[in-house]
Structure 1
Amino acid sequence: MTVVDNVLSRVPEPLRSVLIKHREVLKFGIVGGTTFVVDNGIWWLLKLTVLEPKPTTAKAIAIIVAMIVNYILNREWSFRTRGGRESHHEAALFFLISGIAMVINLIPFAISRYGLDLAVPNVSRLVQEVADFASGSIIGMLLAMAFKFWAFKKWVFPDELGRRRRDDAEAGDEPDPAR
């Protein structure tokens, strides 16, 4: 029994049916939460130390590291029964879409920091940090996450390519990487 099956078996029935029906979204959300912690941990570490004068660069670096973690977790867990493209083709599409999502993620932060001038010395350090978090880690990340979920399902891990992997998983076999 997988971890997800174990957790779902303890959830009351009305909610369990909904979670099972939307299992892919749930897994995608868990991966997103994990990479949220990775992204923000690295961003705050960089922007409060070596990249203090360059917060946008710090955010971009943090997003790239989180993107790599995101690919591994989505490929091996969230969309495990989807896909079926050659690995290099799938990875290229994933990182292309993630690059677009990174720009989407950075737009609210850039508007807040540079368009609205919510940065020291125009505002206090507390206001700057709250604005950075709200725009870069909440608004930007939610917009990017919605775009990525749609784009990953449509182009990176399409369902029609994953039928063999899903059939293998349902039969209890390990997916054949050669297929």
Structure 2
Amino acid sequence: MTVVETVLARTPEPLRSVLIKHREMLKFAIVGGTTFVVDNGIWYLLKLSVLESKPTTAKAIAIIVATIVSYVLNREWSFRTRGGRGTTHEAALFFAISGVAVVVNLIPLYVSRYVLHLEEPFVSRFVQEIADFATGSIIGMLLAMVFRYWGFKKWVFPAELGERRREQVTRLPR
């Protein structure tokens, strides 16, 4: 029995039905939470050390690493019964959608730092860090997440191409 099946077995019935109905979105959200931790861990590590004067570059690097983690987790777990294209084509589409999402994610941070000047010496270090987190890790990531979910379902892992993957997944040993 998988972790998901174990959790569902212990969940009360009204909630269980909702979770099963929206399991793909729930799995996508769990992958998103995981990549949120990866993204922010790398971002703060870089931004508070070697890329201190370049927070947008540090964020871009962190997003790229988190995107690679996201591809593996989404392909093998969230959308494992969808898709059906060749891995190279699917990966190219995934990273193209994710590339646009990187730009979407960076826009609020860029506006905060370079348009609104929420950076030192115009504001305190504390205000700068709060603004960076709010715009880079909350607003930007939420906007990018909505875009990615829509793009992945529509182009990368479309349901109509998933029949081959569904057959492969159902044949796998549990």
TM-score band, normalised by shorter chain = over 0.9
Residue 35 (structure 1) aligns with: 35
- Alignment of 1:174 with 2:172, yes or no, is yes
Q: Output aligned runs, 1:100-139, within 5 Å.
A: 100-139=100-139
Q: Which runs of 4+ in 1 moved over 6 A?
A: none
In 2, distance between residues paired with 1:16 and 1:124?
A: 47
TM-score for both structures, normalised by structure 1: 0.94
Residue 24 (structure 1) aligns with: 24
In 2, distance between residues paired with 1:164 and 1:8?
A: 26
CA drift of 1:8 comes to 1.1
Q: Output aligned runs, 1:12-161, within 5 Å.
A: 12-161=12-161
CA drift of 1:2 comes to 1.4
RMSD of the TM alignment (CA)?
1.1
In 2, distance between residues paired with 1:148 and 1:44?
A: 23
The share of aligned pairs that are identical, in percent, is 76
- Alignment of 1:7 with 2:2, yes or no, is no
CA drift of 1:166 comes to 1.9
Amino acid at match of 2:129: E
In 1, distance between residues paired with 2:91 and 2:167?
A: 23
CA drift of 1:168 comes to 4.2
TM-score for both structures, normalised by structure 2: 0.97
Count of residue pairs brought into register by the alignment: 173
- Structure 2, unmatched stretches of 5+, are none
In 2, distance between residues paired with 1:75 and 1:168?
A: 13
In 2, distance between residues paired with 1:133 and 1:10?
A: 35
CA drift of 1:174 comes to 2.5
- Structure 1, unmatched stretches of 5+, are none
What SS does the corresponding residue of 2:70 show, helix, strand or coil?
helix
